[in-house]
């Protein structure tokens, strides 16, 4: 059992939902995000599920890359080890390229890829030292292809994260270190709460139950919820651009 689990971006959305599901399954938790009051509330909720759990919280802005290393190593020391680290923190700001929104696009690119790299580096340092562990990266079905408008940079960062994760997976093949990339479809969360008329969308709790179930199987890649995204991904790979233009 992966007893001690670290989750970034845990104060809301998928991170919060996964923390609650893992608490229900008896895992100790190391939770980090920017908003302390939300972390404290989540800690209390997890402990109300199971008072015997160890639940540690620490504020962290993943764009402070030095802090990422400090917080991860601090959690590992406090809990004795980290069995699984879920690189979940991300954002979805942005607009069509060349429309005057470089700052927003850059923020998304930095948070979703450069800061994810920092988290992977810190996680793998710990796992290599322990000689075991499970790295989980939260990509997206949107990373399969390029998309327009607000999704252009977001999809590109998720494609890059998927590629990074696969490279790490190749690097630690045949070792006790496992790497899983989860590709959520449309799950209602803070990142998309204002988006209407989304096909196949599920609520946060349903989506997070599917995420945790997939993560615990430790596959190389998982598309969740399985229906319809495990099948839609094949369509997305071959869909003509005219179809993609109507999907974003």
pTM over 0.75? The answer is yes
CA–CA dist 96, 72 (Å, integer):
35
Per the listing, tokens 């998927």 go with: 162
Q: How confident is residue 187, by pLDDT bands cut at 50, 70 and 90?
A: confident
Mean pLDDT of the chain: 94
Task: List the domain boundaries for the chain.
Answer: 4-244
Give the residue ranges of DSSP H helices in the chain: 13-24, 36-49, 65-79, 102-109, 115-130, 151-171, 204-217, 226-238, 241-244
Q: What is the pLDDT at residue 193?
A: 56
**Tokens, residue 64:** 């402070």
Query: Residue 228 — pLDDT band, cuts 50, 70, 90?
Result: confident
Active-site residues, by number, are 154
pLDDT at 217 over 60: yes
How many angstroms separate the Cα of 161 from the Cα of each of 4, 46, 87, 187, 243? 24, 29, 10, 19, 24
Topology of the domain covering 4-244 = Rossmann fold (3.40.50)
Give per-residue pLDDT as tens, 76-131. 999 999 999 999 999 999 999 999 999 999 999 999 999 999 999 999 999 999 99
Q: Which residue has the tokens 């075991």?
A: 132
């Amino acid at each position: 059992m992966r007893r001690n689990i670290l989750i970034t971006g845990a104060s809301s959305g998928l991170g919060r939902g996964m923390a609650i599901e893992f608490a229900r399954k008896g895992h100790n938790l190391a939770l980090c995000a920017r908003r302390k009051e939300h972390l404290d509330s989540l800690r209390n909720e997890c402990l109300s599920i199971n008072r015997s759990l160890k639940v540690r919280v620490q504020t962290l802005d993943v764009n402070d890359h030095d802090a990422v290393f400090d917080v991860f190593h601090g959690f590992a020391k406090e809990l004795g080890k980290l069995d699984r680290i879920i690189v979940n923190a991300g954002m979805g700001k942005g607009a069509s390229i060349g429309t005057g929104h470089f700052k927003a696009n850059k923020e998304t690119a930095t948070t979703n890829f450069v800061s994810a790299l920092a988290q992977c580096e810190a996680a793998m340092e710990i796992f290599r030292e322990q000689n075991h562990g499970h790295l989980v990266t939260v990509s997206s079905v949107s990373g399969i292809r390029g998309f327009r408008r607000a999704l252009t940079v977001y999809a590109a960062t998720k494609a890059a994260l998927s590629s990074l994760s696969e490279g790490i997976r190749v690097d630690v093949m045949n070792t006790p270190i496992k790497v899983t990339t989860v590709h959520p479809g449309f799950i209602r969360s803070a990142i998309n709460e204002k988006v209407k008329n989304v096909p196949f969308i599920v609520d946060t709790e349903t989506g997070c139950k599917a995420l945790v179930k997939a993560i615990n199987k430790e596959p190389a890649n998982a598309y969740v919820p399985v229906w319809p995204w495990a099948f839609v991904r094949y369509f997305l790979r071959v869909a003509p651009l005219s179809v993609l233009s109507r999907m974003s």
